[in-house]
A = this chain, B = another copy of it.
Amino acid sequence: MGCRPDELTFTPSGTHAVHSGIFGTLAARRRAGRRLVHSAVEHSSVLHAAEVHEAAGGTLTEVAVDRTGRVAAGDVAAALGTDTALVCLQSANHEVGTEQPVEEVAALCREAGVPLLVDAAQSLPWGPAPGAWSVLAASAHKWGGPPGVGLLAVRKGTRFSPQGPLDERESGRSPGFGNLPAVVAAAASLRALRAAAETGPDEAARLRGLVERIRARVPELVPDVEVVGDPVRRLPHLVTFSCLYVDGETLLQELDRSGFSVSSGSSCTSSTLTPSHVLRAMGVLSEGNVRVSLPYGTGEADVERFLEVLPEAVRSVRERFGVPVREAPARGEEAAETEEEPAGVVVDSLGKRCPIPVIELAKAIGGVPVGGTVTVLSDDEAARQDIPAWCAMRDQEYVGEQPAERGAAYVVRRRG
């Protein structure tokens, strides 16, 4: 864990560790200020705690990320105002695998006298979190331990005032009957993992190689795919890509039928109807989003079979939506033949969900002259993110978004 035994507390989950860590630090820092600074791509447990803090009168500063999902340490430093009580930064992102500059941010926080909570849930299986963090949260099931074991470490010297009803258990930091068998299993599994890393072949490097293969091959095998996340500064075992014109839910089912259980940050697979806040913050395509986690010990053959199965899975989903494959028309010809109004065409996608609005845009763009526009009316939250992402991928001009009677009107101008 990279901490002393008396700094560590067991909680019922990583989410509980994050909640307790945030509220315990904020309460102890109340005199210093009530501002909570966090990256835009933190785990939802951080964002939910932040919402509660804001509802109770606290203030929030969300630090933006670049297209790879990474914050700039300087942006965090700029947010360290005099009223900042706490900074929250994940060690690596749970959806796209991008690592954050934790060590650098920890040094900046220390300099400013502001505690840093590191959500190390994703990276802890691969080693202790770097840097002089103040509070650390993690979860045992992320390294193959059992569910029911979160970890909260509070560095000696960090002001900490646990909140909510507590009891004498876990140093008064986590109430309720302890889950000792699960804690023992969690410790044993982490120990086994670390022992294997020391004595055996480098599993992290091996998985990293497999992920590199997926990152390189998927765009070759599947047209209209965007691989997201930092290509180098990333978790060893996780890779995420988005496929244009694909319904994430259907694609997941296709892959599941072939024996591959993957996740998705698409709105079409979530109950909230909004795409992943991580993909949104990165400004990348969300439709047809697929997240592949390679478990410890994943074989090369499994990865090869996945690469074999994926193209057909995507193709069959696209076919169901009637997506014309790269239907770009002979340009000059069409532009001459059509006599569209310069105002262009309007596509009514109201009531239709991801990926339909983008598919209808792709179909319509061939029907307008170069310089003409397609206006997509959509009340699907994913469209706001995916129409600009489509334009970037297809080198079309995203003019902008206009208010509409229902939903919004997204205007795209044909470049070529």
Contact = CB atoms under 8 A, between A and B. Distances in A.
A179 B271 contact: no
A165 B45 contact: yes
Interface string A157-170: 00000001111100
Interface string A359-384: 00000000000000000000000000
Given A44-B167, A164-B52, A167-B48, A147 B177 contact: yes
Nearest to A175: B15
Interface string A174-185: 011111111000
Contacts of A164: 19, 52, 164
A19 B165 contact: yes
Interface in A139-195: 139, 141, 146-148, 150, 164-168, 175-182
B180 A147 contact: yes
A24 to B, nearest CB: 13
**Which residue of A19, A44, A147, A164 has the most chain B CB atoms within 10 A of its CB atom?**
A147
A12 interface: yes
26 contacts: A12-B16, A12-B176, A12-B179, A13-B175, A13-B176, A15-B175, A15-B176, A15-B177, A16-B175, A19-B165, A44-B167, A45-B165, A49-B165, A52-B164, A146-B181, A147-B148, A147-B177, A147-B178, A147-B181, A147-B182, A148-B148, A148-B179, A148-B182, A164-B164, A168-B271, A182-B182
